[in-house]
Amino acid sequence: MARKRNQKKGNKKTFGARDDTRAKRSWSELIKENEKWETYYKTLNIIPEEEWARFKETCQSPLPLTFRVTGSRKHAHEVLKLFQEKHLPNLTNVEFEGQILKPPMELPWYPNHLAWQLDVPKTVIRKNEQFAKTQRYLVVENAVGNISRQEAVSMIPPIVLEVEPHHTVLDMCAAPGSKTAQLIEALHKDTDEPTGFVVANDADAKRSHMLVHQLKRLNSANLMVVNHDAQFFPRIKLHTDAEKKKEMLKFDRILCDVPCSGDGTMRKNVNVWKDWNTQGGLGLHTVQLNILNRGLNLLKSGGRLVYSTCSMNPIENEAVVAEALRKWGSKIKLVNCDDKLVGLVRSKGISNWPVLDRNMAVKNKGDEGTIESWFPPTEEEREIFHLDSCIRVYPHQQNTGGFFITVFEKIEDEVEQAKRLANELEESSPTPSAKKLKTENGAAAEVQQEPVKKERLPRDANEEPFVFVDPNHESLKVCWDFYGIDSKFDKTTCLVRNATGEPTRTVYTVCPTLRDIIQANDDRLKIIYSGVKLFVAQRSDIECSWRIQSESLPIMKHHMKSPRIVNANLDMLKELLIESFPTFEDVEAKHLDDEFVKKMHDLSSGCAFVEIERGEDKESLFLPVWKGAKCVNLMVSKEDTHELLYRIYGIETTAKDNSKIQKKQVATGTAESTETVDSKETSTDA
């Protein structure tokens, strides 16, 4: 969600559990009642009277656990199949304290059966053996980016945005990043090297860095994280070329998941119950409208924009949409999604609503202190706007949070668009508006939003620059030759993040389009993160002092033709996953893969790669290893090791280390494959 809130960090004992212990206690201590909230929504009459009791009761209960499998990964079907075959049967007809628990349920509207819901309390997940095993499975798969914990309704906006691999995409209010992750997955659908990219923005610097942590798991060179107020998001130059410098980036797809009062999240954010009042929506309305209008300005003709909130309040939803339709007229239209998301229970958008102030008094258009755009459209406008094309999802309809989604399409003529942009000041800003902030006691306060400043703020002392490295730099030339990297890989996309511009410890790579944007917009974009690690410095006493980082292998494996890529069988991989630095002598004695041992032994010391073919219906593996003078070691993280052991060999692990005797038992087959062991903590990618 885009709603801003304070959180404290702590240990997560359950997959997806909240890390605010006070919030956990509040579920039992706080009375989940709010008279103004109940009066307001009964006055709106958006929930049928016969459904009200169930609606309120659902809002008062905790959310179920929901997750989705990363659809862009080639092994997504394996991860899903493992859950369906190894876990789902054991979670069906489970009895806990005398009650039969609900089995996991597939979200019917999510594509390709990849999203699931576990409607059981977290206490059950911790205490029941079968659910605890599933919990461990989810934790490991989440750590390596194969699945994501995400609220069900939060999955809807990226789906209806319909991102394709060639699209330029902007997520205007991206933190904490679950929807952004979906956008990146869609971009990488069917390709490791899409031509499009995602720009993920958040106004809060701390949340921007949290966004990076969430998205790094996906290892995409087609992502850039920036830190700007979405109301004033800057225009982005496409080129450094002086003749083309006036060409500005227009996005094919834009997600405006705007800050909101958040009463759709009251099932997990208990403070909404005590803090909610009508002023929250009234105060945020103009900010939301400014963000939407800025998004529509940045949208390409023929492009699609999704406006969404985690609020059920029409002042933040249909009122914002209606005002955008007034402003833009025939240049935009709403997209009806009735034929999308088959299986999703939803309600249509509304065209009439009362406006109530903080004292719950009804206000009329023209009253002192009101804004015209708060009020519902006229009869004539209703016929034109088609606000029933908006999507409303209420908590009781399928045991979710509350959400609002609207899909816009821009149909402005390109010539007309160019003319308008020529007259638009580059640093134009929306009318200063009231922006809602949190005071120390948690109450809502309003401050006047200052106009955007024209001069660029000086770079923060802790803010590292993005400096591109000459592909003919001696350090890079050694890497191109050593790893046999072909000419199809764009070698001008390598960058470092230090003021000297010299490759010292780490070299990153970005997609070619982002390279141009980073170079052309140093004076206007506050870039927090972009690129994946390509080369990392290692020992200097060997032939190549750089190793290829595992997070860039999805790209680089398509561009390497080198004897340093050695085929191995599954027995050999299992040995490498379980044993730390096995010697060639020991491996050779086991006769697991004599050809692998011979080829690997003949290589010079340094980074190399192991490729494992697993059959036509399964993804082949491409993993980095360290080849020493007398031994070889698989260079993947502990989390990746655990995931591979379980997915490929059915070996369960724990977070704690166990003795090497157990590891050797599993390796030699003297222990059951389902016995709990813990793999070595292999060399990690720093």
Residue corresponding to tokens 């020991």: 586
In the three-class reduction of DSSP (H, G, I as helix; E, B as strand; rest coil), residue 184 is classed as helix
Provide the CA 79 distance to its chain's centre, in angstroms.
19
For residues 435 and 316, give the distance between their C-alpha atoms in angstroms, rounded to a whole number.
Answer: 14
Name the amino acid, one letter, at 272. Answer: V
Question: Known binder of ligand: residue 181?
Answer: no
Is 53 marked as binding a ligand? no
Backbone angles phi, psi at 480, to 5 degrees: -55, -45
Q: Nearest CA to 160 among 334, 18, 365? A: 334
CA distance 396 to 402: 9
Those residues with Cβ within 8 angstroms of residue 634's Cβ, 6 or more apart along the chain or in another chain: 576, 577, 610, 623, 624, 625, 641, 682, 683
Q: Are 179 and 157 in contact (CB under 8 A)?
A: yes
Q: What SS3 state is found at 642?
A: helix
What 3-state class would DSSP assign to 259? Answer: coil
Beta-strand ranges (E) seen in 51-136 are: 65-69, 95-96, 99-100, 105-106, 115-118
Looking at residue 458, the DSSP 8-state letter turns out to be P
Q: Is residue 174 marked as binding?
A: yes
Say how many C-beta atoms besides its own lie within 10 A of residue 279's C-beta: 18
Please identify which of the residues 59, 256, 260, 310 carries the catalytic annotation: 310
- 3-class DSSP assignment, residue 537: strand
Residues paired with residue 627 on neighbouring β-strands, in sequence order: 606, 632
Residue 603: in which H helix or E strand, if any?
none
Q: Is residue 410 within 8 Å of 301, Cβ to Cβ?
A: yes
What one-letter code names the amino acid at 384? Answer: I
Q: Which two tokens stand for residue 549?
A: 């980082």
Question: Is 257 marked within a binding site?
Answer: yes
If residue 171 lies in a helix (H) or strand (E), which one and from where to where?
Answer: strand 168-171
3-state secondary structure 376-432: CCCHHHHHHHCHHHCEEECHHHHCCCCEEEEEEEECCCHHHHHHHHHHCCCCCCCCC
310 is catalytic: yes
Q: If you ran DSSP here, which 8-state letter would residue 550 be given?
A: G
- Does the annotation list 422 as a binding residue? no
Q: Do residues 399 and 349 make contact, with C-beta atoms less than 8 angstroms apart?
A: no
Is 655 labeled as ligand-binding? no
Q: Is 241 annotated as a binding residue?
A: no
Ramachandran class of 503: left when φ > 0, alpha when ψ lies in -120 to 50, beta otherwise = beta
Residue 225 near residue 463 (C-beta atoms within 8 A):
no
Please tell me whether 605 is known to bind a ligand. no
Catalytic annotation, residues: 310
Annotated binding site for S-adenosyl-L-methionine: 173-179, 202, 229, 257
Annotated binding site: 173-179, 202, 229, 257
